[in-house]
Amino acid sequence: MSAGRDRRRSRRRRAQRRARRAYDPPVTDPSPAIAAVDASGVPYRVVRTDAAGSAEEAAELQGIPLAALLRSIVVRRGDDDYLFVLVPAGRRFDWPKLRAHLGVSRLSLPDADEAREVTGYERYTITPFGATRAWPVIADAAILGEPVVSIGGGVRGVNIHLAPADLVAATGATVVDVTE
């Protein structure tokens, strides 16, 4: 058997395994995130997976490249003033770039309890969709290089896949280079 045929067969097997792990059954009890993205009118797909132990595993379970998996980071600008920063997994958040864009000298991360209080979501499920308040959203410019991105669906193992332009439109995000 040729090496090329072996590679094709191997890729086909990996794709079949991913297809078995990532599925999108009808949503019967949507999270606030799914209800919010649905109400926005943009096309999306819900992908449910087993809980992942790492970003790499989450991307593999969803059948997407690591760069398409977004982390939603809650950042505190001041008292009762927060924002969401959407960063591709595998990239490093650059605080000086974000501070320069916002024109502030100080930003911080809230602890888990404060993040839950201001978003309505537990850590690792945080998403701007369906948050308790519509905080501003900044999306790293790198997301525009992916055909589809994955953002948390508000519940562990629930992910929302959509085009980056639709994510920007639905959240009103400002697209800025905020990673290294």
Predicted confidence (pLDDT) per residue in 110-137, tens digit: 999 999 999 999 988 999 999 999 999 9
Q: Is the pLDDT of residue 26 over 60?
A: no
Cβ atoms 64, 161 nearer than 8 A = yes
Enumerate the H helices of the chain as residue ranges. 3-21, 32-40, 55-62, 95-102, 112-119, 164-171
Give the whole-angstrom CA distance, residue 167 versus residue 176: 14
Across the chain, what does the average pLDDT equal? 88
pLDDT tens string 91-116: 998 999 999 999 999 999 999 999 99
Q: What is the CATH number of domain 23-176?
A: 3.90.960.10
Collapsed DSSP state (helix, strand, coil) of residue 174: strand
Confidence (pTM): 0.83
pLDDT at 31: 87
Higher pLDDT, 137 or 16: 137
Cβ atoms 143, 151 nearer than 8 A = no
CB atoms inside a 10 Å sphere around CB 91? 17
Strands 81-88 and 70-78 come out as antiparallel
DSSP bridge partners of 71: 87
CA dist 175 to 13, 86, 107, 167, Å? 37, 9, 19, 11
Q: Where are the domains of the chain?
A: 23-176
Q: Fill in the DSSP letter of residue 125.
A: S
In one letter, which amino acid is 27?
Answer: V
